[in-house]
Amino acid sequence: MITKTQNYKTVKNLLSKGSTNSKTAKNSIETYILYLAPHTQNSKKINICPKASKGCAAACLFSAGRGKFSNVIASRTNKTEYYLSDKKLFINQLSKELIKIANKSIKQDTKIAIRLNGTSDLDFIALIKKYNNLDLLNGDQFKNLVFYDYTAILGKIKKYINTSYKLTLSRKENNESEILEALKLGGNVAAVFNGDLPTKYKGFIVVNGDESDLVMLEAKNCILGLKAKGEAKKDKSGFVINNN
């Protein structure tokens, strides 16, 4: 229901089960993921992927898999409108969902993976700390939750490089120096390829990042090779590396 004072419908659950995504469904542990409408695909034209390049925006996985269906697009767009309209309320709901999942993980004595940026690039770890004073990366409350994400922001890589929040820098057509800096720091870089994955790229070992999302937790200082999907197959910007 949309009221006169808001331009979004009430959202029952912000986090989706990883089983709804062909890649996260391959994860060896239960996974939850937050999907928003990327880049400036919202009524306010606010960029929630602030470092997205033209190639990155055009090839975004928003168009891949279930993301091509109108009902999925509508759901992700609605969540984005919710976030932009009432950030504090959105973060409060997200925090409650994470607490519920964390309690389940402790009760079941099992790890659960959380990806907060399925199709966005926001610092939810910091936002939850700011609005709800919850430290997701330290202490016992969230000890069984495994937080990970892709990001195009080198500053986030540097900020969280020595924490339990595992970030992988996304290679774009215009961030050559940044991906080399991330690799020099010991981080991982994700790169999208057309054709077969090479064994090495820029002198670093390439592993198959499509095997499951959790490859980024196991891989150390390497390239996560991803096959072009959706609109990425048509890329001409250089975002996708042609390995045919």
Structure confidence by residue, pLDDT tens digits, 142-156: 999 999 999 999 999
171-185 pLDDT per residue, tens: 999 999 999 999 999
How far apart CA 58 and CA 72 sit, in angstroms, is 18
Q: Dump the DSSP string for the chain.
A: ---TT-SS---S-SEEEGGGSTTGGG-SS-EEEE----TT-STT---SSTT--HHHHHH-GGGSGGGGSHHHHHHHHHHHHHHHH-HHHHHHHHHHHHHHHHHHHHHHT--EEEES-SS----HHHHHHHHH---TTSSSTTTTEEEEEEES-HHHHHHHTTSS-EEEEEP-TT-HHHHHHHHHTT-EEEEEEESSPPSEETTEEEEETTS-TTHHHH--SSEEEEE--GGGGG--SSSEEE--
Residue 65 has pLDDT above 60, yes or no: no
Q: Which two tokens stand for residue 8?
A: 């979004």
14-30 pLDDT per residue, tens: 999 987 776 777 788 99
Q: What is the pLDDT of residue 229?
A: 84
Q: What is the pLDDT of residue 61?
A: 53
How far apart CA 172 and CA 45 sit, in angstroms, is 22
67-123 pLDDT per residue, tens: 456 888 999 999 999 999 999 999 999 999 999 999 999 999 999 999 999 999 999
Chain length of the chain: 244
Q: Which two tokens stand for residue 85?
A: 């309209």
Share of the chain above pLDDT 90, in %: 76
Q: What is the pLDDT of residue 2?
A: 52
Q: What is the pLDDT of residue 4?
A: 47
User: Is-contact 180 204, C-beta < 8 A?
Assistant: no
Q: Which of 32-46, 48-62, 128-142, 164-178 has the lowest mean pLDDT?
A: 48-62
User: Is-contact 202 223, C-beta < 8 A?
Assistant: yes
206-220 pLDDT per residue, tens: 999 999 888 989 999
pTM: 0.90
Q: What is the pLDDT of residue 32?
A: 96
Which residues on adjacent β-strands are paired with residue 150?
A: 168
Of the candidates 149, 144, 148, 150, which has an alpha carbon nearest to the alpha carbon of residue 112?
144
Q: What is the pLDDT of residue 7?
A: 85
Q: What is the pLDDT of residue 9?
A: 93
The average pLDDT across 167-196 equals 95
The phi and psi torsions of 29 (rounded to 5 degrees) equal -125, 160
Q: What is the mean pLDDT of the chain?
A: 91
pLDDT band at residue 50 under the 50/70/90 scheme: very high
Sign of the C-alpha dihedral computed for residues 75, 76, 81 and 87 taken in this order: positive
